[in-house]
Amino acid sequence: MPATTALLCDLSASDYDEILALWRRAGLPVRGEGRDAPAEFARQMARGIQRVIGFREDGRLVAVAVLTHDGRKGWINRLAVDPAWRRRGLARRLIAEGERWFVQDLGLEVWAALIEPHNTASLALFEAAGYQRSDILYISKRLRPGA
């Protein structure tokens, strides 16, 4: 696999279409009428508790992660790498940049991610980065379907 020259970048609401297209290429579900809708995405960006980072190769977005925090923990969300650019360390580098941001800029010493049990690639990735599984069950409630 050739080395990548992809450049780390901060993304903004103006990159929305590219981010959604990448999530779709990577197989992540997109809630286009809910929290991934353009206006909602712009609102999340404006709140100041979210940073979206990615890698561009020749200008094309090939990896993305949404970093958020709740004041206690840093969260790595919606991490996705273009299928053609996997196993070159891009996700590992996005996680490392997330951790750098959490600890150096925000003073947060606990970092977390939610991973579906069948997602073996993501589990392997985070475990290789030093994250430990827990038996905590994720529960959630939605105001409306598709939110």
Ligand X SMILES: CC(C)(COP(=O)(O)OP(=O)(O)OC[C@H]1O[C@@H](n2cnc3c(N)ncnc32)[C@H](O)[C@@H]1OP(=O)(O)O)[C@@H](O)C(=O)NCCC(=O)NCCS
Q: What is the DSSP string of 113-141?
A: ----TT-HHHHHHHHHTT-----PPP---
Say how far apart CA 10 and CA 25 lie, in whole Å: 20
- Show the CA angle centred on residue 139, arms to residues 133 and 145, nearest 5°: 130
Contacts of 124 (CB under 8 A, 6+ apart): none
Residues of this chain that interact with ligand X (CB under 6 A) are 26-28, 79-81, 86-92, 113, 115, 119, 121-122, 124-125, 128
Nearest to ligand X of 29, 107 (CB atom): 29
Nearest to ligand X of 2, 48 (CB atom): 2
Q: Minimum distance from CB of 92 to ligand X (Å)?
A: 3
Nearest to ligand X of 13, 112 (CB atom): 112
Q: Minimum distance from CB of 112 to ligand X (Å)?
A: 11
Say how far apart CA 133 and CA 116 lie, in whole Å: 11
Nearest to ligand X of 44, 122 (CB atom): 122
Q: Minimum distance from CB of 20 to ligand X (Å)?
A: 14
Q: Tokens at residue 126, please? A: 């985070």
Task: Compute how many other C-beta atoms are within 10 angstroms of the C-beta atom of residue 16.
Answer: 18
Q: Minimum distance from CB of 69 to ligand X (Å)?
A: 17
